[in-house]
Amino acid sequence: MNKFFKFSALFYLILIIPSVHAFDHQHLQWDLILQQNIHLTSNGHASRVDYANIKSNSAPFERYLELLTSVSENEFNQWSQEEQKAFLINAYNAFTIELILSRYPDLESIKDIGSFFSNPWKKKFFNLLGKKRSLDELEHNILRKQGVYDDPFIHVALVCASIGCPALKNKAYTAEKIEQQLTDSMRRFLSDKERNRYDHESKSLEVSKIFDWYEDDFKKGHRGIFSLNDLFSLYDKELTDDIDGQTRILSKTIKINYLDYDWNLNDWHLNDHSLK
């Protein structure tokens, strides 16, 4: 009887151990950090990060980074595509913050971390899926790898710690909401007149340089989008209240100009809080 009991107990432990150590796809630790440290501005269309608070209360942030690092490539490969995509986006944003904190407050831009020979995105400073990696590798070799996700909307979710960036959401990306969250991030970004707008005088669009850098990603048919004009036609009302402007955007022939990118740090303590 004792042997049977021991066997049963051991079998039970084998069953529950994976669930005890299973990755939290709700990203609850990260979600709480974001809620406490991301300040929405410009009517929710942009955001600033309280780097000082994250640094002074670093234990929860460090635990989340350890959680990300603990995931093996084999475990990752067993997840759904939505789980993978949410994980990679959250990881990119979290490790970007870690990179900033490595120099904070002695920097005015993420570019201050780079050197003449290497930019900050090429610096291998974190472990993910069993390898030492850089932000560039995470973005370009994994998230943008041809034929895997092919989702250009990631470009409004990945944040480069700069004022020119799309807003860092104050909620974690999660598998069950990922498509809705990415759509919302695109809507918010294109509603931000500091970064994307219709110009009445030139009768053209003035949009973020992001769309210039990654234009090819918007030609692959994801969500039925085969060009930037296809994309902007879905958000004509976000880009302008002007009826004539909306008509021009919907024609999909409107001229597109690109705005200068603002690389200043998106630090809550270095920006006008009246924007909130």
Chunked into runs of 10 residues, the chain (276 residues) has average pLDDT values of 44 40 92 98 95 97 98 97 98 98 97 85 97 97 96 97 97 98 98 97 98 97 95 98 97 98 95 43
| Count of domains for the chain | 2
> Is position 227 within any domain?
yes
* 219 and 237 in a common domain: yes
Q: What is the pLDDT of residue 117?
A: 75
Q: How far, in Å, CA of 180 to CA of 49, rounded?
A: 23
Tell me 117's DSSP state: S
* 254 and 267 in a common domain: no
The two structure tokens encoding residue 50 = 């309280």
Q: How far, in Å, CA of 154 to CA of 124, rounded?
A: 21
Q: How far, in Å, CA of 269 to CA of 33, rounded?
A: 17
Whole-number Cα distances in Å, 57 to 33, 54, 151, 239: 10, 5, 34, 38
> Is position 2 within any domain?
no
* 166 and 67 in a common domain: yes
> Is position 4 within any domain?
no
* 42 and 172 in a common domain: yes
Q: How far, in Å, CA of 121 to CA of 111, rounded?
A: 9
* 154 and 125 in a common domain: yes
* 201 and 161 in a common domain: no
* 128 and 93 in a common domain: yes
Q: Where are the beta strands (DSSP E) in 54-209?
A: 126-128, 131-133, 197-199, 204-207
* 210 and 130 in a common domain: no
> Is position 11 within any domain?
no
> Is position 129 within any domain?
yes
* 160 and 95 in a common domain: yes
The two structure tokens encoding residue 214 = 């990654």
> Is position 254 within any domain?
yes
* 252 and 203 in a common domain: yes
> Is position 13 within any domain?
no
Containing structural domain, residue 58: 27-177+262-276
* 170 and 266 in a common domain: yes
SS3 89: helix
* 121 and 252 in a common domain: no
Whole-number Cα distances in Å, 233 to 52, 151, 153, 183, 240: 40, 18, 15, 14, 11
User: Under a CB-based contact definition with an 8 Å cutoff, are residues 121 and 109 in contact?
Assistant: no
